[in-house]
Amino acid sequence: MLNTIHADALVVGGGIAGLQATVDLADQGYQVALLERQASIGGKMIALSKVFPTLDCCSCITTPRMAAAAHHENVNMFTYCDIQSIERNGDGFVAHVIKKPRYVNESACTGCRECEYACPIHLPDAFDYGLGAHSAVYVPFSTAMPQKALIDIDHCIFCGKCEKACVADAIDFTQTAEEFDIEVGTIVLATGFETTPWDAKKEYGNGRFLNVVDGMMVERFLAPTGPYGHVLRPSDGMQPDSIAGEIGLRAPSPKMIVQTFGGGLLMGFGAVCSSGCNVGHILSGVPQLSLGSIVGGASIVLGAWIMAYLMFVRPQQVKARQERAAHAHA
- The contact set with ligand SF4 (CB under 6 A) reads 104, 109-115, 118-119, 121, 135-137, 149, 151, 156-162, 165-166, 168, 170-171
When the beta carbons of 155 and 230 are compared against ligand SF4, the nearer one is: 155
* Nearest-approach distance from CB 76 to ligand SF4, in angstroms: 22
* Nearest-approach distance from CB 198 to ligand SF4, in angstroms: 28
Can you give the length of the chain in residues? 330
When the beta carbons of 158 and 309 are compared against ligand SF4, the nearer one is: 158
* Nearest-approach distance from CB 108 to ligand SF4, in angstroms: 7
When the beta carbons of 8 and 172 are compared against ligand SF4, the nearer one is: 172
When the beta carbons of 160 and 229 are compared against ligand SF4, the nearer one is: 160
* Nearest-approach distance from CB 39 to ligand SF4, in angstroms: 12
* Nearest-approach distance from CB 309 to ligand SF4, in angstroms: 57
* Nearest-approach distance from CB 171 to ligand SF4, in angstroms: 6
* Nearest-approach distance from CB 143 to ligand SF4, in angstroms: 15
When the beta carbons of 85 and 107 are compared against ligand SF4, the nearer one is: 107
When the beta carbons of 137 and 282 are compared against ligand SF4, the nearer one is: 137
Q: What is the 3-state secondary structure (H, E, C) of the chain?
A: CCEEEECCEEEECCCHHHHHHHHHHHHCCCCEEEECCCCCCCCCHHHCCEECCCCEEHHHHHHHHHHHHHHCCCEEEECCEEEEEEEEECCEEEEEEEECCCCECCCCCCCCCHHHHHCCCEEECHHHCCCCEEECEECCCCCCCCCCCEECCCCCCCCCHHHHHCCCCCECCCCCCEEEEEEECEEEECCCCCECCCCCCHHHCCCCCCCEECHHHHHHHHCCCCCCCCCCCCCCCCCCCEEECCCCCCCCCCCEEEECCCCCECCCCCCCCCCHHHHHHHHHCHHHCCHHHHHHHHHHHHHHHHHHHHHHHHHHHHHHHHHHHHHHHC
When the beta carbons of 109 and 216 are compared against ligand SF4, the nearer one is: 109
